[in-house]
Amino acid sequence: MTPDIDAPAGALATTLAGERVWLLPERALWWPAARTVFVADVHLGKAASFRALGQPVPAGTTRDNLDRLSALVDGVRAARLVVLGDFLHAAAARQAGVLDPAHRWRERHAGLDCLLIRGNHDSHAGDPPATLRFELADEPHRLGPFAACHHPRRVAQAYVLAGHLHPAMTLHGRAHERQRLPCFCEVEGLMILPAFGAFTGTSVEGLPPGARCHAVGGGAVWADPHP
Amino acid sequence: MSVSIDAWLAEQGWRSFPFQRQVWDEIARGRSGLLHSSTGSGKTLAIWLGALATLREAIGGEARQHGGKAVAPPLTVLWITPMRALAADTLRALTRPMAAFCPGWTIGLRSGDTSSAQRAAQDRRLPTVLVTTPESLSLLLSRADAREQLGQVRLAVVDEWHELMGNKRGVQTQLALARLRRFRAERGAGSDAALMTWGLSATLGNLDEALRTLLGTAAKGAEGAATDAVLVHGETDKTLVIDTLLPATAERFAWAGHMGLRMLPQVVEAIEASASCLVFTNMRSQAERWYRALLEARPDWAGVLALHHGSLDREVREWVELGLKEGRVKAAVCTSSLDLGVDFLPVDRVLQIGSAKGVARLVQRAGRSGHAPGRPSRITLVPTHSLELVEAAAARAAVRAGRIEARHSPREPLDVLVQHLVTVALGGGFEPDALLAEVRGTVAYEALDDANWRWALDFVRQGGASLTAYPDYHRVVPDEHGVWRVPDARLARRHRVNIGTIVSDASISVQYLGGGKLGSVEESFIARLRPGDAFMFSGRLLELVRVEQMTALVRRATAGRAALPRWNGGRMPLSSTLADAVLRELAEADAGRFDSPEMACVRPLIDIQRRWSGVPAPDVLVAETLKSREGWHLFLYPFAGRQVHLGLAGLIAWRAAQPETGTFSIALNDYGIELLSAKPIDWAERLPGLLSVPPLETLLHEVLASLNATELARRRFREIARIAGLIFQSHPGERRSNRQLQASATLFFEVFQQHDPGNLLLAQAERELLTQELDVRRLAEALGRMATQTLQVHALRKPTPLAFPLMVERFREKLSNESLGDRIARMVSELERSAGGEAVGTAREPAERALAVFAKRDSPQFAIATVQESLALEARGEAPPARRRARGERARRGR
């Protein structure tokens, strides 16, 4: 894992299944050879679902999510976006307050190929409207040496990219210092991406044993310091 | 046929006390009041016999004929009690006199424990007398027919008012009482039939304020000449004995550690010598541990030794309470769960393991013993470490001098107000102007300004002040007549389930495979266990089999390593009254006077403190500096109590992080604070500058700035989010529903900060910190006092008796103004260095070395800790070192 000259700022380079990829501090995985960027767990419309059910969450998270997606796609000049599940949070997210900005976002990136691997939230929320022009697939979905999934799992003869867990880790330092950070979680044949969406939360529980955790914070991805 | 009070008492073979006769007279005149005493009984009868005699005149004691059927009078008396467990006992205590005086009345119980069948019966017709809790009373207020049902209440009695008035449950009670008064007034009842309110309370340092808080701002105070309301002193002659179990050899007694099992032999002896006793601990995990240790020391006590704490199943608790009443239980190890309640006549002694934390609490717990006539109340303090010996001597001196803490109502908690608005909107709706007047009639909201009121209304109506911030969101909406109501039945249901101000972590019920229920533990504890792991609960060794639907299924474990659950209850701070008393005792000791047995016992330790450093005194501020492998330590001993120390430590750390950035770990206890820096800092040189006393306004500014650099506001927000109805509590045994609605308070905090920074619930979190937790005024006083003291700075070679407990403290605050990137870079490089073989020290190591010196392996305390090797999760250094290392490694693996 050595830095390249044309490295995206703060990104961590690694080689998975023989392919050079970048772990981006934007909580995304960039595969330059295929001009493809992967994100997991966007949970678009989560705040709107809360409001619809009577919980006061201020508006602004949808725009925040979409603005960050735009910056991500523009920053690496991606040709394809793969969402590893949970694009929409719930059926209640299928409303104008969420879908209108989503359509405007799609127009801005009209030439971008978008692929959604259906996750557990998507199966409740339903597929995004056809007008958003997302290609849809069930896991595992093969892309070169990779298998795009939502749930972390094993797929024979493929390296799995997954989400679902919203992984996080706690860093410890001298003077009792601790900091909880979202992370990329890597085990043999599997990379679990941190959740992309705002207002989604993280979990340190349930991560695979022996995983290497690369923390995301302060504008960078940090290689797991443990041997 | 109508029996008189005197005749009834004579029939029972009892006689009345003067204070009881005074209360009867006051009630007969329609007055309200507060009846208080520190020990003794007869308070319930004082109110109840007076109420029965008076209300019998007003509404009749017989059933009424209604359509050929005998119908009891409508709901007339509400008896509010802070604990569910107390409600059942209260019901029994009220029933017998009622049958004699008012045979036609009915009485019932309504609390979280009431069955749905009983609830349905009550919904058809409420009993004449209802015993209930603040939460269940709020639920009644949310009924659509609340005005009609509760408008006939003539008398509201609040039991154990001292327990309620200082917290948000008390605010909830104030609001409910204001509502009842208003219902009464709306019925056009004359002043002679206005609501009477009576409180029962232990002795407090501010009884006039307690009375005013109970009755609202409209009541004429007890101090004036025109007395509507009265304070009645219910003292009976009662001797109070406070003594201490002394460790055999003081010099080898632990400097820190809170389980206190070292004193096991002395405690066994004390239990043996008494007929029946209560053993109070400050934490549930400590109660579990002591129960096991006592049983292991005396297996023959199986069956007569009991365990009682709030997480045990109700049936288990009731069995213990009955055993105590009937004298079958030799000793019950318990927590504050037995602070209140009916009297256990056979109990002749109370043991208090560890600090009672306050003079009032000590006196209250003492009063749980010696109820038989002519017997003294006796409380025996069992120190868990050496400094508690000083506390014991100080507590006795404070009781003797009559210095007892005051309690104050929280001021304007908007979360409780928001909940109340929805409750009232459900209970028949409200018109804002009228409700504002009613709310301002409570002490908690007497200074509520229009802007905050407006915000609370906006919040329940549209989420916030701006219409656009919360699209599609509505909770409460005015109808065409301007009456605010809740239109959505689903929201109404959810609100009713979540009424209350007690915030606990998600808990999971513990049940045998065969079905027997044991109680509940926090979900986060069970989440750390794997099937097959053993843990200690309900005094038993259990093995986790599996978890399904918020229930942990267990079976008996044979043996092995057991984890001990930790319940995240708040830690009780030492009152400043007691902290001051401790400082006075230390000053006496420094002058060479060791008058009490406790101080004589602790003398070797004070000598060490003096030799290695200095002894704090009212006019001497002691500071100590130490460089360890963990970093650069500063210890400072202002003796201002935890709350003030929290603000003080944050302030000093904030100042130390200027002009260069820094990251500090903060530990504090009731005596002092520790600041630990990962980067080099010359504490001795910086300290005088860090202790300056600015004008109050500048200080407030600095404290706010220091707050923003800590996690405190974020943590405080958790409780506020729950009470204001942002997050839902899951209940034991309940299926996880509303999955799409699961979001943590932290997420809400962040999303508000980012997208609605003007949200007043955020402001409330900050204000509660400033007023309740930090108390800036007292912080300024403490700084002022420190400025008059002589500052002594000692460079240490090893931690002193005062420094050691701080050094091993595991609950820590963090203050940092370094950028996240810088901090991560530093931690990552430290971890890489340690992985490369260059050891990075942990704070545990010096602490362990010190522990090994002062608590030898062969001491009983240590022996038990090793036998019962456990995940332990205690706050301070009693977990065996091997276990601790394992924990450290797990943590380092980043999980």
| Res B548 pLDDT > 70 | yes
Contact list in A for residue B738 (CB cut-off 8 A) is 53
* pLDDT for residue B253 is more than 70: no
State the complex-level ipTM.
0.82
Distance from CA of B721 to the nearest CA of A (A): 11
Instruction: Tell me the shortest Cα–Cα distance from B179 to chain A, in angstroms.
Output: 26
CA-to-CA distance for B848 and B104, rounded, in angstroms?
68
Interface contact A58-B755, CB threshold 8 A: yes
**A-contacting residues in B 648-677 (Cβ below 8 Å):** 663-665, 676-677
Q: Please tell me which residue of chain A has the smallest CA distance to B492.
A: A54
Rounded distance between C-alpha atoms, residue B854 and residue B800, angstroms: 12
Tell me if A201 and B891 make a contact (CB, 8 A cut-off): no
Q: Considering only CB atoms, which chain B residues are within 8 Å of A167?
A: none
Q: Please give the average per-residue pLDDT across B636-644, as a whole number.
A: 86
Domain coordinates of chain A in residue numbers? 12-218
Residues B721 and B819 in one domain: yes
- Going by the DSSP 8-state scheme, the letter that residue B770 receives in this structure is I
CATH of the domain at B156: 3.40.50.300
In this predicted structure, what is the pLDDT of residue B247? 84
Average pLDDT over residues B621-626: 95
Q: How many domains does chain B have?
A: 4
Mutate to test the interface with A, among B419, B472, B547, B761 (most CBs of A within 10 A): B472
**Which amino acid makes up residue B196?**
M
pLDDT at residue B38, rounded to an integer: 67
Res A1: pLDDT? 45
Residue B636, domain member (yes or no): yes
Q: Which listed CATH number (3.40.50, 1.10.260, 1.10.3470, 3.60.21) goes with A12-218?
A: 3.60.21
B770 lies in some domain: yes
Encode pLDDT of A31-75 as tens digits.
Answer: 999 999 999 999 998 888 888 777 777 788 888 999 999 999 999
CA gap A164, B449 in Å, rounded: 46
More confident position, B523 or B272: B272
Is residue B673 domain-resident?
A: yes
For residue B91, what are the domain limits? Answer: 5-233
Interface A:B, Cβ pairs < 8 A: 170
Per-residue pLDDT of B347-379, as tens digits, reads 999 999 988 888 888 888 888 888 766 788 899
Contact status of A58 with chain B (Cβ, < 8 Å): yes
pLDDT tens for residues B498-522? 777 665 556 778 889 888 888 888 7
| Nearest-by-Cβ selection for A97 from B472, B726, B748 | B472
Same domain as B439, residue B542: no
Say what the pLDDT of residue B468 is. 65
**Does residue B611 share a domain with residue B558?**
no
pLDDT top residue among B830 and B682 = B682
Q: How far apart are CA B324 and CA B316, in angstroms?
A: 13
Write down which residue in B181, B211, B233 finishes a domain.
B233
Identify which of B474, B759, B892 has the shortest CB distance to residue A172: B892
Q: Is A227 in CB contact (< 8 Å) with chain B?
A: yes
State whether residue B757 sits within 8 Å of chain A by CB. Answer: no
Q: Does B468 touch chain A (CB under 8 A)?
A: yes
Q: Do B421 and B553 share a structural domain?
A: no
Among B470, B678, B759, beta carbon nearest to A174: B678
Q: Are residues B224 and B98 in the same domain?
A: yes
B259 inside domain: no
Task: Give pLDDT, residue A104.
Answer: 95
Query: Would an 8 Å CB–CB cutoff place B151 in contact with chain A?
Result: no
> Residue A129: is its pLDDT beyond 50?
yes
Over the stretch A143-187, which tens digit does the pLDDT of each residue have?
A: 999 999 999 999 999 999 999 999 999 888 887 788 889 999 999
Stretch B284-296: mean pLDDT: 90
Residues B521 and B481 in one domain: no
Average pLDDT value over all residues in chain B: 80
A92 touches chain B (CB under 8 A): yes
Confidence of residue B225 (pLDDT cuts 50, 70, 90): very low
Inform me whether the C-beta atom of residue B825 falls under 8 Å from chain A C-beta atoms. yes
Write the residue in B469, B826, B831 that is nearest to A226 by C-beta: B831
Q: Does B895 touch chain A (CB under 8 A)?
A: yes
Residue B866 pLDDT greater than 90, yes or no: no
| B527 plus B493 within the same structural domain | no
The two structure tokens encoding residue B434: 């009228």
3-state secondary structure chain A: CCCCCCCCCCCEEEEECCEEEEEECCCEEEEHHHCEEEEECCCECHHHHHHHCCCCCCCCHHHHHHHHHHHHHHHHCCCEEEECCCCECCHHHCCHHHHHHHHHHHHHCCCCEEEEECCHHHHHHCCCCHHHCCEEECCCEEECCEEECCCCCCCCCCEEEECCCCEEEEEECCCCCEEEEEEEEEECCEEECCECCCCCCCECCCCCCCCEEEEEECCEEECCCCC
Question: Which chain A residue has its CA at the smallest distance from B819's CA?
Answer: A218
B504 or B691, which is more confident: B691
Q: Are residues B553 and B624 in the same domain?
A: no
Residue B684: CB atoms within 10 Å: 14
Confidence of residue B880 (pLDDT cuts 50, 70, 90): very low
> What pLDDT does B893 receive?
41
Phi, psi for B367 (deg, rounded to 5): -65, -10
Nearest CB to B751; choose among A47, A217, A225: A47
- For residues B670 and B767, membership in a common domain is answered with yes
Please write the tens of the pLDDT for every residue from B776-789.
Answer: 777 888 899 899 99
d(CA B300, CA B881): 32
For the cut 80, the answer to whether the pLDDT of residue B812 exceeds it is no
What is the model's pLDDT at position B759? Answer: 74
Residue of higher predicted confidence among B255 and B370: B370
Q: What is the mean pLDDT of residues B71-80?
A: 93
Q: B81 with B215, same domain?
A: yes
Q: Determine contact: A208 vs chain B, CB below 8 A.
A: no
CA-closest candidate to residue B624, choices B403, B381, B800? B800
pLDDT-derived band at B892, boundaries 50, 70, 90:
very low
B512 and B657 assigned to the same domain: no
